[in-house]
Amino acid sequence: MNKHTTAHNIWQVILASSAGTLIEWYDFYIFGSLSAIIAEKFFPPSNPDLAYIMTLATFAVGFVVRPFGAIVFGRLGDIVGRKYTFLLTLLIMGGSTFAIGLVPGYASIGVLAPIIVLLLRLLQGLALGGEYGGAATYVAEHSAHDKRGYYTSFIQTTATLGLFVSLAVILITRSSMTTEQFSDWGWRVPFWLSILLVLMSYYIRIRLQESPEFAQLKAEGKTAKNPIKESFGKKENLKVVLLALFGAAMGQGVIWYTGQFYALSFLQKTMNIEFVQSNIIIAVALVLGTPFFIYFGRLSDKIGRKKIMMTGMLIAALAYYPIYARMDQIGNLSLKTELKAKYTIENTMSRNSKMQNVEKTVRTRVYDDETKAREVVMNTDGKEEKKIEVVVGMSGLIQLVLLVWVQVLFVTMVYGPIAAFLVELFPARIRYTSMSLPYHLGNGVFGGLLPTVATILVTETHNHLAGLVYPIGVAVICFVIGVVFIKDSMISKE
């Protein structure tokens, strides 16, 4: 244990850092979790497929700018300090998320709606770019080397837990009102709630002290005067930054988003799994998988970070195709036998908030494995919209949970140890800046673009599984670079 940090204090540090980071991930991911609804609200309704792709692209923009946030806030963190930097990122993130919940839809303000949302996503991405490196560095600098993997793994759980919390809040909000109410205004509630969570986290963080390692550097006058130049202007350090990106972070990024976000997108858009059931599948898999972040973080203290991460990348690359092929089969109605006697049709008439007449027709087909397919036809003043919702039976539901859970295990193998791995690659005086950039390039660019790139590949090829070419290819390249070029001698034992 760091000589300045008691066993009691380290858990205070972990709690405060993790709570804030969890809330920032929650803020970031409610946008992705609600992407199907956001596509309807903020983009022109004339081309639903294009609207969804544009929504994913807007979502991806938040990832793409994260490296710029890493540079801006990383520099600030290496000069001013870890604590105040991630207090600032927390407030920027929370304010931007709350504001998204206030933006009027496309029907009200036209093209201004997607432009405003895009700008707020840029702010979110910049803030998150500075958050993770600060939290990971802060915890690591309170930890002894032989426990860094274990202690920093609690930070690693926050991304997945943030996604889980976002799904839970969305499901609770959805279940507390009608489908029409949720579609009309209820989807905004998760965005509004973020401001309360951020204020709570700010209160917890403001009471923290600066990390002892950075405080000592500052007292001795050894902090970096120009951390950006030292991180990327010196050939020897730039080489380590590039190896961290192409030999670890980019593979970790695509595996993270494949196992969680692409899985959710595949369930909802490709398999047409009903909104609530698809989110439940992801949420249960996340709960079952989250403890393994701690397990692999702790294991990395004993056998090394690199071995676990490279193994996770290789297994994921080999397993993705058969996993998604099986998922596709579970939702394929043409492979099931319809029970004709259970076919039903329901018709309802109502008025929406704009006082338009809405006729809703629901045709339900039941299959031999208890799967139900609901064709919902909404006729609003003569304008017809069709939507198919599939609710899989218990056997299919269990299989889907297990298949997503296996993907989450791959995530825990590559993500659990990576904070300690990156921290130990760089000296303390430029650590915040140096580790943040490759992490956010790997996650923000390679990982964040995955849903958009995969959706485009599927749309262009009309092949449900074509999107997997991207994560498999990136993971294999990263595995080869990591195994060949990253040496154990590069890892600091300080």
SS3 349: strand
Q: Tokens for 399? A: 């299989």
Per mean pLDDT, which range of 6-20, 257-271, 457-471 is the poorest?
Answer: 6-20
Q: CATH topology of 7-223 equal to that of 230-336+389-493?
A: yes
The mean per-residue pLDDT over the stretch 53-72 comes to: 82
Looking at residue 4, its pLDDT comes to 46
- pLDDT tens for 413-428 read 999 999 999 989 988 7
pTM: 0.82
Does domain 7-223 fall into CATH 3.10.129.10? no
> Which amino acid is present at 93?
M
Name the percent of the chain in helix, strand, coil, to the closest 5.
75, 10, 15
Looking at residue 1, its pLDDT comes to 45
* CB-based burial label for 445 (10 Å; 0-12, 13-18, 19+): buried
The mean per-residue pLDDT over the stretch 167-172 comes to: 87
Distance separating alpha carbons of residues 213 and 189, to the nearest angstrom: 41
Q: Residue with structure tokens 């195994």?
A: 483
Q: Which residue has the higher pLDDT, 15 or 330?
A: 330
- pLDDT tens for 235-264 read 888 999 999 999 999 999 999 989 988 998
Tell me if 435 sits within 8 A of 422, measured CB to CB.
yes
- Band (pLDDT 50/70/90 cuts) for residue 312 is very high
For the chain, domain boundaries: 7-223, 230-336+389-493, 337-388
- Band (pLDDT 50/70/90 cuts) for residue 25 is confident
Looking at the domain 230-336+389-493, which fold is it? Growth Hormone; Chain: A; (1.20.1250)
The mean per-residue pLDDT over the stretch 368-373 comes to: 93
The mean per-residue pLDDT over the stretch 361-388 comes to: 86
HSE at residue 388, side-chain half, CA atoms within 13 A, is: 14
% of the chain surpassing 70 pLDDT: 96
Per mean pLDDT, which range of 22-31, 90-99, 248-257 is the poorest?
Answer: 22-31
